[in-house]
Amino acid sequence: MDFGVLNSEAVKSILNAIHEAVCIVDKNGIVLHWSKKSEALFNVKAEKIVGKPLKNFFPTALLLGVLKNKTETDNVYLSPRKDTYVVVSAKPLFFNGHFVGAISTDKDITEMTNLTFELEETRQRLNQLRQEVSKLSDEKFSFGQILGRSDLIKQKIDRAMQVAKTKTGILITGESGTGKEIFARAIHQYSDRKGNFIAINCSAIPENLFESEMFGYVGGAFTGALKKGKGGQFEHANEGTLFLDEISDMPMHMQAKLLRVLQENKILRIGADTPKDIDVRIISASNKDLRKMVEIGSFREDLYYRLNVVKIDLPPLRERKEDIPILVEAFIKNFCRQNNINEPKLMPEVFNILTSYNWEGNIRELKNTVEHLVVFSKNGNIAIESVPEQIIERSMSKVKRKEPTFELESCVARTEMDVIRKVMEMVKGNKSRAAKILNIPRSTLYYKLERYRMKDLL
C-alpha cells in the first residue's frame, strides 16, 4: 500500500474534519498523519511529530501495543496528561493481506468527565447535608410521634421498642403507605446508635449501579469513576442503620453479596483488594410476601431468614379506623402551619365519609386527601363539596353495606345523591325532565350536582 496518498490535501482535510483526534503510523511506528484535533488534544504540532517515531513522544501509547500484537482495541479510557481524559480505539491496517501500519482515534471526554466528577461531588455534599438535617430532625421520627391510639398500633410500637436496642435484623412488612420508614427511623433513634440512618429504595436503583451504590469503588475502577473513589451506602451507615426499603426488588446477585456482608460484617469496594470492617444495623421492608417469593425462587431463602429475625407487620388503616380522627387532626394542623393558613372546621358529614372510606393507600393517601380538603375548604369549613368525588362514591357504597349511620345531615346527603342519580339514569341525562320529576328548579339541580361533585352527570 502506498501511504503517499496521505499527502493528498483532500484526504488530510477529511481526516482533520473528523471530530476525534486521528493518528496513523506505519508498521515501524513512524507517524504518517497527525490531525488538527490531535494537535489540540495533545499539544503537539503535526510538523514536530510527523515522520518521527510515535514512541519518542508517547512511549506508552495504545497504538504501539496494536503495532506489536496486530489486534484492535476499542474504547479504552485513558488520561494522557493531568486533567485530560480520552477514550481511545486503535486498529491494525492490512493491505492485500500484508500488515502495513495502524490507526487510532482519540475522543476527548474531558468536559464530560469533569462534569461527572462535579455532579458526583455535589451529590456527596447533598448526601452529607441530608444526613445533617436528618440528625437535627430525629425527634420528629421518635416513637412518640407515631400517631395512633388503637391497641393494634400500640402493640407494634411496643414490639419495635423492645427490639430497637439490639443489633437484631428487623423486617417491616405492610401495605404501601402504612408508615414502614417512619417505624424504621423511630427504631434507629431509639437504638442510640451513633451513626447515620441511611434509607435506600431498592426499586429505584438501576441494576447495573447497585453494587457501586451499596459498596462504593476505588479511584479509576471504571470509566467515569471519581479519581479519589467513592464510599458506598454501607460505609455511610457505619455504626448506624441501613434501611432497605422494597427489599423484594433487590437483584438476585446483590442478594448474595448482601448475605455475605451480613455474615462477615465486611464490605469490599469495587476495584479494591482489601475489605473494610463495618458495623451496620439492617432494617428491611417490603409490601410483598417474601415467603412466597422464596417459594417461587425469586428471593434467597437464606437471606430471608437472615433479615426476618424479628418481623413487624404494620396494619392497614382500614383495620385501625379509631386512629383516623387523630391522624386527620394532626395532618390539618401541620398543613395549615406549614402554609400559614387558619385551620378550617371539619364538618360531620365529611368525617363520616373519611371513616367509611377503605383507604387502600393507607396513611399516605389519607394525608394527601386531608391536604386536598384544606385547600378546597370554603368560609372556614371543610364541607362535602371539598371531598374528591371518588372518595364520596366509594365511601357511600360501603356505607350501604354496613350498619347505617343516623347522623341527619349525612343521611340527607346520601339520600339526595341516590335519588338524583336514579332519576338522571331514568331520563337518560335530560336535566330539564329530571328537575320536573324531582320538583325542583333546574338551577337547584345543577347546584346539587356541583355540591356533591357528581361530575359524570353534569
CA distance linking residue 93 with residue 24, whole number of Å: 9
**Host H or E run for residue 65:** helix 62-69
Q: Amino acid identity of 268?
A: L
**Do the beta carbons of residue 171 and residue 285 sit within 8 Å?**
yes
Residues 274 and 359 in one domain: no
Query: Can you read off the three cell numbers belonging to residue 445?
Result: 339541580
pLDDT tier, 407 (very low <50, low <70, confident <90, very high otherwise): low
- What does the pLDDT read at residue 91? 92
pTM more than 0.75: no
Q: Which of 281, 296, 315 is the last residue of a domain?
A: 315
Residue 401 clears pLDDT 50, i.e. is over it = no
Residues 399 and 417 in one domain: yes
Q: What is the pLDDT of residues 226-254, one digit of tens each?
A: 667 788 899 999 999 999 999 999 999 89
Residues 324 and 300 in one domain: no
Residues 349 and 431 in one domain: yes
Residues 372 and 252 in one domain: no
CA distance linking residue 29 with residue 53, whole number of Å: 5
Mean pLDDT (whole number) for 377-403: 76
Tally of domains in the chain = 3
Most confident of 39-43, 95-99, 175-179, 321-325: 175-179
Structural domain of 48: 3-108
Residues 295 and 189 in one domain: yes
Residues 369 and 342 in one domain: yes
**84 φ, ψ (degrees, to nearest 5):** -125, 130
164: domain CATH number is: 3.40.50.300
CB-neighbour burial class of residue 216 (10 A; exposed 0-12, middle 13-18, buried 19+): buried
Residues 194 and 290 in one domain: yes
24: domain CATH number is: 3.30.450.20
Mean pLDDT (whole number) for 359-368: 94
Q: Which of 266, 291, 315 is the last residue of a domain?
A: 315
Residues 73 and 175 in one domain: no
Residues 310 and 329 in one domain: no
Sheet containing 21-26: give its strands across. Answer: 31-34, 21-26, 98-108, 86-95, 73-78
Residues 385 and 282 in one domain: no
Residues 133 and 228 in one domain: yes
Top-confidence residue, 149 or 458: 149
Q: What is the pLDDT of residues 170-220, one digit of tens each?
A: 999 999 999 999 999 999 999 989 899 999 999 988 888 888 889 988 876
Q: Which of 271, 289, 315 is the last residue of a domain?
A: 315
- What does the pLDDT read at residue 4? 52
359: domain CATH number is: 1.10.8.60
